Amino acid sequence: MSMQSPITEYLADIIAATNHVDSGAVADYIPELGAADPNLVAVAMSTVNGTVYASGDAEHRFTIQSMSKPFAYALAIETHGLETVLDRIGVEPSGEAFNELSLDPETGKPRNPMINAGAITTHSLIGDDEDACVDRMLALFSRLAERPIEIDEVVAASELETGDRNLGLAYLLHASNALRQDPRTVVTGYIRQCAASVNVRDLALMAATLANGGVQPNTGERVFSRMGTRHLLSVMTSCGMYDAAGDWLTTVGIPAKSGVAGGIIGVLPGQVGVAVFSPRLDAHGNSARGVEMMKLLSDDLGLHLMEASRPARSSLRETRTTSVDGRPATVYVLQGDLVLSSIESLVRELIDNPPPTELVVFDMSRVDEVLPVARRTSAETAAKLIDEGHQIALIDPENTIPGFRDSHGRAVERWTSEHMDATDR
């Protein structure tokens, strides 16, 4: 079965379904960002096995901006230990804009590492001087994305010229001895960190490393400790979306981080990393269309953290070949809840190793629940199999997928397990 994955098609649908969202405006406080094409749009998803699916302008590169903050924070924790980092930067949501000129009045510390005050302090912890900090960040991004990540020097230069606010913050921090280098050096390094040039595929892999407990899924390298990753994801959950954090947690419900170039990354622990991109921002500085795409992904894929958790195991329990009524058949035995991340391995198996027999049986006796998105993806997969000349039969004694038809509306045969038993042996 040579085909585009139904998961890629699903991502294309997410783009189509948000085509009408043209609210917000491209950030222009960094002049070079104002030149971005506002109509660019992309979405990517990486499983914790490192398979990346993407749609839209998925190769288009843009600057990582504030999405660099969580990774810098995790690196600071790996470098100095959690206690040292907590001594310098709090973990309380600020409920304020990302560039608010404020420190916690009681502790004198930045409230959290996701607002600029905290991120500037974090950056200064990464290395001894500006070059060391920036080099370590680029090396980290490259390990996470599995390719050499570079700085967009044009954007960096543009932000440096207009970085008075961040410089003001850095001087405030310097006054309370929070920085290891002088304010100008730290801000220059921080701005270069933010100007790392990435696409949604890179970001999905970076997010998938966090979903995978700190281990890069493809290289198998442990980049962050389990505890560091857990800590970071907690902070992203409460502080990642700034003053929209409460709205985000209730509606989308996954740890996330946005950047002013229009990207948003989201992490579903144990399952997937997702990344969306669209340059127009809402009043909170988060991509307007990106937020809508994330809402759809979360609803469709059942990603909300507070939804009863579903096992992250594969839906495919085993594959058997047998014969039914004297005809050779391939039987796929499915199990558990069918959610997108669990049927992903089944869909990939069908693409990589097409069933060798005309007759294909899906045994759903062990399936508990089928989420709508899994049903849709199954319908598309069934249509492709039928188009390739296969005959499909379902064994679905509990009727977990009532009235199932392929995506062209063709009915699929339903067999009882007796039908198999009678002919199997």
Contact 331, 363 (CB under 8 A): yes
Q: Using DSSP bridges, classify how beta strands 327-338 and 52-56 pair: parallel, antiparallel or unpaired.
A: unpaired
- Binder to ligand DON among 5, 112, 116, 158 (CB under 6 A)? 116
Q: What is the CA radius of gyration of the chain?
A: 24
- Binder to ligand DON among 71, 98, 224, 404 (CB under 6 A)? 98
252-311 residues near ligand DON, rule: CB under 6 A: 258-260, 285
Residue 182 C-beta: closest distance to ligand DON, Å: 18
- Provide the residue count of the chain: 425
- Binder to ligand DON among 5, 18, 55, 65 (CB under 6 A)? 65
Could you give the 3-state DSSP secondary structure of residue 317?
A: strand
Q: x/- site string to ligand DON, residues 186 to 225, per CB under 6 A?
A: -----x--x-------------------------------
Rank residues 133 and 260 by Cβ distance to ligand DON and give the closer one.
260
CA–CA dist 64, 139 (Å, integer): 14
Q: Does 166 bind ligand DON (CB under 6 A)?
A: yes
Please name the residues in contact with 83: beta carbons below 8 A apart, sequence gap of 6 or more.
Answer: none
Residue 67 C-beta: closest distance to ligand DON, Å: 7
Residue 120 C-beta: closest distance to ligand DON, Å: 8
Tell me which residue of 374, 371, 365 sits closest to 417, measured CA to CA. Answer: 365
Rank residues 63 and 400 by Cβ distance to ligand DON and give the closer one.
63
Please name the residues in contact with 268: beta carbons below 8 A apart, sequence gap of 6 or more.
Answer: 211, 254, 274, 301, 303, 305, 341
Contact 140, 77 (CB under 8 A): no
Given CA atoms 144, 26, 40, 154 in this order, what sign does their dihedral have?
negative
**384 CB burial (10 A radius; 0-12, 13-18, 19+):** buried
Residue 115 C-beta: closest distance to ligand DON, Å: 9
Residues that bind ligand DON (rule: CB under 6 A) add up to a total of: 13
- Binder to ligand DON among 94, 99, 197, 271 (CB under 6 A)? 99
Rank residues 73 and 98 by Cβ distance to ligand DON and give the closer one.
98
Residue 122 C-beta: closest distance to ligand DON, Å: 12
Rank residues 178 and 382 by Cβ distance to ligand DON and give the closer one.
178
Contacts with ligand DON by CB under 6 A lie at: 65-66, 98-99, 116, 159, 166, 191, 194, 258-260, 285
